[in-house]
Copies of this chain bind each other. A is one copy, B any other.
Amino acid sequence: MKKRLGPTTDLMPMPALLVAVRTGEDEANVLTVAWAGIVGGQPPMMALEIGSGHYSTPFIEREGNFTVNVPASTQVVGVDYCGMVSGREDPTKAATCGWTFLPSTKISSPLIAECPLNFECQVVRKVEASQGAFYLVEILETHVDEKVLKENKIDALLVDPLIFTPDGKYYRLGECLGKAWDVGKVLKK
């Protein structure tokens, strides 16, 4: 039997991402974001909801860019901390988490060195959506740890990304069920 829950945001899985934005000379704030997804391929585009009340928001408006960093599952404690504590309370959250910054190549906001996968994102525009707004960004550059490459391509199991579920839990990738554009072939007539 189906049950109706009303309008919810209970989509799953969600990514657990670290958004880093330049806040000053050699300094950046880090914010955890799960409401995000790719929305275009040519050029690569991402949509992310980052509420207007966040410490990061005026810096995003000023810089017009941020990095999106995909943390490994080993970074879960810091990811949760950066989603729980505001930069107003701890303006050097990355240091608290034991993370360091690397300069980006195309934008002013830095990469989180310890994350295996990083995207340099330029804000294209803020899209008004009813009572809120979300950022539409263009991905200008991708950085990846060499150790998560397999035959020169990113291997998700080596990245070991964090997964967020809307019941408030963090997970790792589990059983692999097969290849895309492959396991469905058995249904072809």
Contacts and interface: CB of A to CB of B under 8 A. Distances in A.
Contacts of A110: none
B163 A173 contact: yes
Interface in A105-127: 105, 111, 113, 117-119, 124, 127
A98 to B, nearest CB: 9
A70 B136 CA distance: 24
Interface string A29-47: 0000011111111111111
A159 interface: yes
Nearest to A85: B188
Given A5-B143, A80-B181, A167-B153, A189 B90 contact: yes
Contacts of A184: 77-85
Contacts of A85: 184, 187-188
Given A161-B12, A167-B155, A134 B3 contact: no
Contacts of A41: 9, 35, 49, 132
Interface residues of A, number: 108
A177 B133 CA distance: 31
A53 interface: no
Interface of A: 1-15, 17, 34-49, 68, 70, 73, 76-85, 90, 96-97, 102, 105, 111, 113, 117-119, 124, 127, 129-134, 136, 138-146, 149, 153-156, 159, 161-189
